[in-house]
Structure 1
């Protein structure tokens, strides 16, 4: 059996990475989102093991001390992280995993698991990104400026990624991510070759 692949997708807020990943997963039963661990309380409708693994702060910090995470971060008063055991178990079963996280988390994943495939979603331009954020009508002018400055900082780190997708057309961007997943599936797998050579005829 081929081992699964871990795809780490990043991009600035408003670039459409969530929509792209969701559509790719809908069309392929062998690829799923990674389920993160968090210390925040469950929201209405959220299910343990489906949306998140909900843990107390003390439990999370114990997992940190045991080096159990591929990456983790503290956002305001809550921790979020990706468990090594969860991801590796899925990969060993031949499942592909998509992890939608920021650039800092992505580079931490790559440092802990060199086989991770990093994909960065770029906007066609910062002006277009600003327009998309404005259309969401969820940020004021000051917040928009922070978002754009944050986008610049993230885009600078895109040079460290394996693939770049420019989301100037959502359907094309979805197709691009599907293509990356397919191409990675076809890469040389030494284990598969060894298994065939070990067959007795």
Structure 2
């Protein structure tokens, strides 16, 4: 499917692409898969989330996240400007609503890479969205990936592992599960689900 220029009139609803939501436990490799996929298919638009988390080394405002204060996040939530939001590992994350709707109406494939609670909220407000669960090959591999980052304290890692157990138990709520054994393979499968050729 060719990317539609923003200047054209909206695409009729019956041919409008579905919103695809990618979720899964922390450390499963969501960002890595999405990054690889967008190198191959840059026309897939990835929504940039707002977060109260501090930037990690190399992260840029407006590219990886919109880094906001707690007060700014309160305002976004109060004004209904977020499609979803959730608190995770002591920080809040949310998806700006307007940008997602505009891209879908222009006929562009849209991908959200968000946490479990956010995925549930999106399904509630946009029932035709497609939920994709990214699973690790096994628990030990997930633990290895989470502890191998080296960017978080032992306390944060413990919280992430506890959350991961809950997130893994929610797999049945999703439309499709992809197991992350190979970044290239998962990216290809995700593109096929989004009907991007």
What TM bracket, shorter-length normalisation? 0.7 to 0.9
Between 1:137-146 and 1:14-23, the stretch displaced more is 137-146
What displacement does 1:56 show?
5.8
CA RMSD of the aligned region, Å?
A: 3.0
User: Does structure 1 conserve the Cα–Cα contact (< 8 Å) formed by 2:44 and 2:108?
Assistant: yes
> Mean Cα displacement is larger for which, 52-61 or 4-13?
52-61
Among residues 145, 166, 170, which one is paired with 1:153 in the alignment?
166
Q: Distance in 2 between matches of 1:86 and 1:178?
A: 21
Q: Point out the structure with the larger helix share.
A: 1
Aligned to 1:104: 117
Closer, same or farther in 2 for the Cα pair 1:73/1:92, shift >3 Å?
same
| Equivalent in 20, 38, 51 of residue 25 of structure 1 | 38
1:15 aligns with 2:28: yes
If you compute each CA radius of gyration, which structure gives the higher value, 1 or 2?
A: 1
Aligned counterpart, 1:46: 60
Aligned position for 1:37: 50
Q: What residue in structure 2 maps to residue 64 of structure 1?
A: 77
> Could you state the TM-score of these two structures normalised by the residue count of structure 2?
0.76
TM-score normalized with structure 1 length: 0.75
Shift of 1:123: 0.8
1:119 match: 132
In 2, Cα distance between equivalents of 1:144 and 1:46: 23
Deviation at 1:71, TM superposition (A): 0.6
Tell me how far 1:82 sits from its aligned partner.
1.2
Given that residues 89 and 160 in structure 2 are in contact (C-alpha distance below 8 angstroms), is that contact kept between their aligned partners in structure 1? no
In the TM superposition, residue 76 of structure 1 has moved relative to its aligned partner by 7.4
Stretches of structure 1 that go unaligned for 5 or more consecutive residues are 187-201
The structure-2 alpha-carbon separation of the partners of 1:29 and 1:61, relative to structure 1 and needing over 3 Å to count, comes to: same
CA distance in 2, matches of 1:117, 1:71: 15
Question: Do structure 1's residue 131 and structure 2's residue 144 form an aligned pair?
Answer: yes
